Structure 1
Amino acid sequence: VPLDREPHMALVKQVLGWEDMADVAPDDCQQIALQLTGHGRAVAADVRRLSADPTVPDQVRELAEVVLREADRRLSSPRLGTVHCVQQRARMVRALYERLDRLNTARPAATST
C-alpha cells in the first residue's frame, strides 16, 4: 500500500509553522501526535526495507540507520498533548521522508532483461 504522503506532509508543514505557545487544545495535539506517530512508523518501515537493499551505498545506509534509531526513540516516547511533542513528531516524519527519498535515488535503476 503506497504511503499517503501529501496530506501528511501538509500536516507536518502546518504543525512546524506553529509558534511554540500556539493555542492548540491538548486533545487536538494528542490526536495529531497519534496520526503522525502511526504515519512515521509506516515511513520508517519503508526506510528500513529500502536500507536493507545491498545495492544502497554504505554511507546512505548508515545515515538511514541513524535516522531510524532516532525515529524508534522518538516515536515510542509518550504523547504529551503539547505543541512541542507534535512538532517533534512532525520533524521526525519529515526526516524519515528525506531518508526515504535519498534511499530511492541511491538505488540503481532496475535493468531490463
Structure 2
Amino acid sequence: MHTSTHTVLYDPDGLIEAELPLDRAPYECLVKAVLAWTGPDALAERDYEQIALQLTGHARAVASDVRRRADQLPKDSGPRALADVVLREAEGRLSATPEGTVHCVRARSGWSSAPCVPLT
C-alpha cells in the first residue's frame, strides 16, 4: 500500500496565494538575460519553452495579485478601469501557446508587443 505525503489544498478564493509574497528577483534576472541576447538562437527549442513557461507562471501570479487588489477598488474608479484594461491585455498575451523561440520568450518578458506565434 502506498501512502502519499502530499496534501491537496482547496483554495478557490486564492487566500493562501494572497498571503505569499512574490519573489521577483529571479524573474527580473531572467528577463535581463533574455533582453541581453544579441546573437542567433543559441539554445535548444525546449530551453526556450521552459523559459517562456517560467515567465508565464510568474506573470500569471503578478496578474492574480493585481486582480485581487483591483477588485478592492470602487468599480467606477479610473485606476480600476486601467487595471482591467491591462489585465485583459495580459491575459490575451499569456493565453497564447508558448513557442520554443527567442521571439516568444521576449514576448513573455514584455520586450515585444506581439504575442507568441510561430515565425514561418
**TM-score, normalised by the number of residues in structure 1:** 0.71
Give the structure, 1 or 2, with the largest relative contact order (CA under 8 Å, sep 6 or more). 1
Between structure 1 and structure 2, the one with the greater Rg is: 2
In the TM superposition, residue 63 of structure 1 has moved relative to its aligned partner by 1.9
Alignment map for 1:29-108 (pairs within 5 Å): 29-54=48-73, 58-91=77-110
Q: Which amino acid aligns with 2:52?
A: A
**TM-score, normalised by the number of residues in structure 2:** 0.68
Choose 51-60 or 41-50, whichever is displaced more.
51-60
Q: Which amino acid aligns with 1:30?
A: E
Choose 47-56 or 37-46, whichever is displaced more.
47-56
2:38 counterpart (13, 19, 29): 19
**Structure 1: 4+ residue segments shifted above 6 A:** none
**2:25 paired residue number:** 6
Choose 48-57 or 65-74, whichever is displaced more.
48-57
Higher helix share: 1
Instruction: Provide the rounded CA distance (Å) in 2 between the counterparts of 1:61 and 1:86.
Output: 29
Instruction: Provide the rounded CA distance (Å) in 2 between the counterparts of 1:85 and 1:60.
Output: 30
- Identity among equivalent pairs (%): 53
Instruction: Provide the rounded CA distance (Å) in 1 between the counterparts of 2:75 and 2:65.
Output: 14
Instruction: Provide the rounded CA distance (Å) in 1 between the counterparts of 2:98 and 2:39.
Output: 16
Question: Per-residue CA shift, 1:13-32, capped at 9, x if unaligned?
Answer: 21122237342221110000
